[in-house]
Amino acid sequence: MILYTPMLESDIFPEDTNSHSNRSVIIHQNRSVYVEKNKDGKYQILQLLSTDPHDFMNPSYQPGAIL
């Protein structure tokens, strides 16, 4: 089944909330980003949440990039 939606996968298929307590959605430069907080206090991008195709071409918002 393919779902075409801007919703997060975890909103559709809920997970155990205790296993990902360091993950959250933040606003960075007017863009919503799903991130994971590292031990050093920085954020690593897991997913860019945007409806603007140009945002996905920006290499600073690639999954794995550090904010």
* pTM of full prediction above 0.75: no
> Domain for residue 2, yes or no?
no
pLDDT digits (tens, 9 = 90+) for 6-65: 887 777 777 665 555 788 899 999 899 999 999 998 999 999 999 899 999 999 999 999
> Domain for residue 1, yes or no?
no
> Domain for residue 47, yes or no?
yes
> Domain for residue 9, yes or no?
no
Range of the domain at 42: 20-61
> Domain for residue 12, yes or no?
no
For residue 11, what is the enclosing H or E element?
helix 9-12
Provide the number of structural domains found in the chain. 1
Q: Are 42 and 26 in contact (CB under 8 A)?
A: no
> Domain for residue 5, yes or no?
no
> Domain for residue 15, yes or no?
no
Spatial distance between the Cα atoms of 19 and 59, rounded to a whole number of angstroms:
29
